Amino acid sequence: MSDYTPRKSDRFAFGLWTVMNTGRDPFGEPTRGPLSGLDAINELGTRNVYAFEMHWEDIIPDTAGAAERDGIIKEAKKRMADSDIVCGCSGANTFTHPVFKDGALTSHDPKIRQMAIQKYLTAIDVGYELGCRLTNIWWGRDGIEVDAAKSPVQAIKRLREAFNYLQAYIDDNKYAGYRLSIEPKPNEPRGDTYLPTVGHAMALIATLNKPENCGLVPEVAHVRMAGLNAYHEIALALESDKLFGVHLNSQKPLRFDQDIRFGAEDLKESFFIVKLLEDHKWQGNRCFDAHAYRTADREEVWDFVNGCMRTYLILREKAVAFNRDAEIQGILRELHRGCDAPLPASADLRSADIDPAPLAARRYHHEKLDQLVQELLLGVR
């Protein structure tokens, strides 16, 4: 029987906030006790999680002075060493405090924009000290409900200004290898969020002073909230060499951000995401950004953690089986035969006589292929 025990070499990661989650939601109080960010580092590391992601405020109080901050960073480093876990990404919380109720990086008030950038400067400093080389930016409050109140053109200009400022800070401090990323989301907590998809974010990145230093961290749930295919969105970022990270979870389409355990609601799409990452030997961390059901107590949170990793490992094994399945590969060879033929010269193509009748009669075997995938996932192949 296959062993689905996670190993550090699998490069699994979790956001600290995922296991610190207390089950609180907009309609109800917490259903499980708190867990500190430092304790979360220990707990994840001892479960063979390779890395953690964080908002720096997950471990350092927003009001901490320099001495307290340095002490916490020292303690975090000790716990990281003790449990053999690394910091994969350092972000900032620019969505909880009411000062950001109408945006952070896109606020009309320059002082609020400065506060938001200041928070990300801290994220970069703390992240670099903890050994990570990425600050991921999810602008939870940078959106709008009342379009009359704010121009999206101006908002995009402010986002560009912020990213260029952060990049200049990285350069000025000689933080070698440090990069930035955008995590798109279409809505929630705002009615509409700026740059809601991978494609929107890539359009902004192309206009930055150093576009090569900014990438994407697509999240499955965010993509499905927009009614799109997360497999395709992640593939776009990967093919463009912009996949700086990935947030794996599960989601019923077109609903609020559910952050369900990976694979629980969209098994086939999850399978193709795993296959994409593994087939292309993507070198990044497989980070889970979800949380246990509100019905779970504190101990059951670790069932959620183990479930995310176990599902990925099972789907990884299924991807290997897909690539070795003779019948599946036979259909794919037929479908792909001649598909990479180069385009002829335009003069030749302009005068070519292409008969659509035999092309229209071509069989694609999609019904059979999809059924074979279904049977593979159901465990009968």
**The 3-state secondary structure of 50-113, one letter per residue:** CEEEEEHHHCCCCCCCHHHHHHHHHHHHHHHHHHCCEEEEEECCCCCCHHHCCCCCCCCCHHHH
What's the pLDDT at 1? 62
Whether 303 sits among the annotated catalytic residues: the reply is: no
Q: Is there a contact between 68 and 114 (Cβ–Cβ < 8 Å)?
A: no
Q: Which residues contact 244 (CB under 8 A, 6 or more apart)?
A: 134, 136, 179, 181, 215, 216, 217, 284
Distance CA 94, CA 75 (A): 25
Rounded average pLDDT over 297-318: 99
Mind listing the pLDDT tens digit for each residue in 317-336? 999 999 999 999 999 999 99
What's the pLDDT at 2? 86
Mind listing the pLDDT tens digit for each residue in 222-236? 999 999 999 999 999
pTM of the predicted protein model: 0.97
Q: Pick the catalytic residue from 3, 25, 39, 55.
A: 55
Q: Where are the alpha helices (DSSP H) in 148-299?
A: 152-172, 198-205, 220-225, 230-239, 267-279
The answer, yes or no, to whether the previous bond of 196 is cis (omega within 30 of 0) is: no
Mind listing the pLDDT tens digit for each residue in 74-128? 999 999 999 999 999 999 999 999 999 999 999 999 999 999 999 999 999 999 9
Q: Look over the chain and give the mean of its residue pLDDT values, rounded to a whole number.
A: 98
Mind listing the pLDDT tens digit for each residue in 337-362? 999 999 999 999 999 999 999 999 99
Whether 55 sits among the annotated catalytic residues: the reply is: yes
Domain ranges for the chain = 8-323, 325-338+355-381
What percent of the chain is predicted at pLDDT more than 70?
Answer: 100
Residue 148: pLDDT above 70? Answer: yes
Q: Pick the catalytic residue from 58, 125, 266, 289.
A: 58
Q: What CATH code is assigned to 8-323?
A: 3.20.20.150
Cα 213 → chain centroid: 17
